[in-house]
Structure 1
Amino acid sequence: MRFQVINEQLASGLRKGIIGIALVLFFGTMGYRMIEGWNWLDSFYMTVITVSTVGIMEVHPLSDAGRLFTSLLIFGGVGVMAYCLTRLAEFMFQRSITNVFGRRTMMKKIAQMKQHAIICGYGRTGMRVVAELQAANKPFVVIEENEEVVKRMLELGIPHIPGDATEEETLEAAQICEADALVAALDSDAENLFLTLTASGLCRNLRVIARVHDPDNSRKFRKAGAHRVVSPISTGANQIAQLLTRPSVVDLIELVTTDKSIALQVFEHSIEEDSDMLGKTLSEARVRQTLGSMVIAVKHRDGTTAFDPGPQTKLNLGDTLVAIRQSDAGEQTL
């Protein structure tokens, strides 16, 4: 943040210097035009060689008034030029320093990350995912090889690693074995499939969420190790169908999950070894009193999900409660 403020100040000074040079050239050209009666080109050329102090001889002989005007133009023009060049040098130097130290700080931060998400690709999907993770305060790192996109992320302060996400070295730099999940959101299904294979091979327990352009490729991704496969085409079509058949239900879900003004929160709570709920039923665990929420589903360790579980549903190690409650600090917002 400090470097950003300094850069803004230097950029402001640079803009003022450029405006100053433009004004000097304008008034110089107008002055020679009015005092000496020269044409526009000669007036502009005389102004340029005067303020740049190159020492070229005069375009035409000067009158006394013209010599006095030239003297004043030299003092004013040289001062403005010196100011602008100084600001330009400071701006370039400061940007270089900011990039070096900013990169080092970011890499140290990434090296210390645990239980974070790795977003591969900062396109339209990647940008939306990053925005949601930032809103949820979940740590993440983006892998992107497009230089222009990398520069934009650096300016925005987004944790990232420049490089090819399908390369093992790049994934290891993103601390893949310490990560909680990886999102494959590259440009093509072929790249995402190869990324899924590579990531699954490096870390078996990593949750891989892959985006597919062609829904027919979903089976290939699951065989490659993807835990979830998301097809924007299928998802969009399903949502349209739901809006046509059950619009009120869809509206309610969207309000609860996306509208920040709604005081309801859907969240997850994992049953760990030190959990007081371990081995108890929902009734015995008193979830409503403990978490202040209503359980709407239980995701078991074997992958099955019990929706609207009864009070006698037993909670085992590795189970995950999906609950809804008033908006307070939760375990993990869905």
Structure 2
Amino acid sequence: MSFFKKLGKLLGWAESAKPEVDLDTELYEQLRPFRFPLIAVVVMMLFGAIGYMITSDFSLIDGIYQAGMTFTTLGYTEVSDISVAGRFFTIFYVLLGFVVFTFSIGLIIEVLKKGELTRLIKEKNMLYKIARLKNHYVICYHNEFTQELAKQFKQTYTPFVVVSDLPDFEKIAEANKYPFYVKCPPHSDLAFLKTHLSSAKGIISLSQNSADNIAIIVSARLYEKDIKRISPYSIITIANSELDSERFKKLGANTVVLATKLAAQRLSVVSVRPDMENLLEQYLYTRDQSIDIEEVKVPDESWVRFRRLKDVSFRQIANVSVIGIKDVNNHFLPMPKGDAMIGTGAKLLLIGTPEDIKEVKKIIKNKQIPDILNIKV
């Protein structure tokens, strides 16, 4: 380890995050046509300097200076008296310089006109931004679901990257104000590298085509094994039928949302209780969240196991209520009473502020009973 790396580690300096895909080769390929203008400038300067040295007996420095003023058409003044041969050489040199300059400008304009160089520079800057993300979501495919989900994520400050292979996806992403986006086939390894999936929290596939969603699920699980990830990805997708939903779950999806079923449930609730229509939007889906609902699994070594709900006193500790308990057999007990027992592998459905739920999650993970509770072991 070098001295500067040791010093940086001692001072706690973090190394700049680098993308997992290097676009330098593609950039160099696009910059290749720029070599001719650069070489032409050097050759013209040397040609002019030598010409003035021969025709007008200039020194090397005076020749370079005179050639520079003539080639760039500045024309401040002559360094020294120029001979007749030198004046003829100047006329030829100006005309030749005009030809070289015109050809070089045309070459540069042609490269910029294609737009590939500009696109690569923008993509490289985007990849560096994405490389700094942690615990973000990768949203695959662009459609109306992606647009709405992106709005919700931006309101709740959830980091995300949208990846799609649509022809005009860059313009679509900018029109929808996606903060991070990548144009690439979503199920490919290249997409996983560009979206920095190795540091992501999960992946969301929103294609209307079941085959696309299957490809994302399988590819993500295989990639998870290839990088030897410790914690598995949270894979979320949508389905058009119950059959597709079951198939996706068997392949490795954690959550499958049926849009038609979800809409029907919402309509059912609204038709029975019209006053509840905007309740979730007011309390769960707003930017400044006042309450949150989260399912928390009780670890095997937690002190909470085999205790009654009234004994754990989450409401007393952090003002969080348990509104449901799911046992190891997935039997759900809604609105449990204080005598309800928390068994092995149980999942608690908690409601409270995000900060309070975060505090309760820490308490549940502890092996020891909190000092605030007077419970005998």
- Shorter-chain-normalised TM-score: which range? 0.5 to 0.7
1:144 and 2:164 are equivalent in the alignment: yes
Find the residue that maps to 1:115 and give its secondary structure: coil
TM-score (norm 2): 0.51
1:211 and 2:238 are equivalent in the alignment: yes
- Cα drift, residue 189 of structure 1: 1.7
Tell me, yes or no, if the aligned pair for 2:320 and 2:357 is still in contact at 8 Å. no
The residue identity in structure 1 corresponding to 2:123 is R
Tell me, yes or no, if the aligned pair for 1:268 and 1:331 is still in contact at 8 Å. no
- Cα drift, residue 99 of structure 1: 5.9
1:296 and 2:323 are equivalent in the alignment: yes
Q: Which of the numbers 188, 197, 220 marks the counterpart of 1:167?
A: 188
**1:76 corresponds to which residue?**
none
Find the residue that maps to 2:216 and give its secondary structure: helix
> CA 1:287–1:191 in structure 2 vs 1: closer, same or farther (change >3 Å)?
same
Identity %: 18
**2:173 corresponds to which residue?**
153
> CA 1:193–1:298 in structure 2 vs 1: closer, same or farther (change >3 Å)?
same
Tell me, yes or no, if the aligned pair for 1:189 and 1:214 is still in contact at 8 Å. no
The residue identity in structure 2 corresponding to 1:115 is N
Deviates more, 1:196-205 or 1:179-188: 196-205
- Cα drift, residue 137 of structure 1: 1.6
Q: Which runs of 5+ in 2 are unaligned?
A: 1-108, 226-231, 360-377
> CA 1:196–1:286 in structure 2 vs 1: closer, same or farther (change >3 Å)?
same
Q: Which of the numbers 218, 236, 254 marks the counterpart of 1:197?
A: 218
TM-score (norm 1): 0.57
Matches of 1:220 and 1:244, distance apart in 2: 32
Matches of 1:193 and 1:130, distance apart in 2: 22
Matches of 1:197 and 1:252, distance apart in 2: 37
> CA 1:165–1:326 in structure 2 vs 1: closer, same or farther (change >3 Å)?
closer
- Cα drift, residue 247 of structure 1: 3.9
Tell me, yes or no, if the aligned pair for 2:318 and 2:356 is still in contact at 8 Å. no
The residue identity in structure 2 corresponding to 1:257 is L
Matches of 1:276 and 1:98, distance apart in 2: 58
The residue identity in structure 1 corresponding to 2:166 is N
Per-residue CA deviations over 1:4-55 (Å, capped at 9, x if unaligned) read xxxxxxxxxxxxxxxxxxxxxxxxxxxxxxxxxxxxxxxxxxxxxxxxxxxx
> CA 1:121–1:316 in structure 2 vs 1: closer, same or farther (change >3 Å)?
farther
**1:135 corresponds to which residue?**
155
Tell me, yes or no, if the aligned pair for 1:177 and 1:206 is still in contact at 8 Å. no
**2:206 corresponds to which residue?**
185
Which structure has the larger Rg?
2
Find the residue that maps to 2:152 and give its secondary structure: helix
Find the residue that maps to 2:212 and give its secondary structure: helix
Matches of 1:111 and 1:260, distance apart in 2: 25
Cα RMSD of the aligned pairs, angstroms, is 4.0
> CA 1:245–1:159 in structure 2 vs 1: closer, same or farther (change >3 Å)?
same
Matches of 1:158 and 1:234, distance apart in 2: 31
Tell me, yes or no, if the aligned pair for 1:269 and 1:331 is still in contact at 8 Å. no
> CA 1:222–1:267 in structure 2 vs 1: closer, same or farther (change >3 Å)?
closer
Q: How does 1:254-293 map to 2 (within 5 A)?
A: 254-258=281-285, 263-267=290-294, 282-293=309-320
**2:352 corresponds to which residue?**
325
Matches of 2:347 and 2:333, distance apart in 1: 10
Per-residue CA deviations over 1:50-79 (Å, capped at 9, x if unaligned) read xxxxxxxxxxxxxxxxxxxxxxxxxxxxxx
1:103 and 2:130 are equivalent in the alignment: no
The residue identity in structure 1 corresponding to 2:158 is K
1:120 and 2:147 are equivalent in the alignment: no
> CA 1:281–1:141 in structure 2 vs 1: closer, same or farther (change >3 Å)?
farther
- Cα drift, residue 273 of structure 1: 9.8
The residue identity in structure 1 corresponding to 2:206 is A
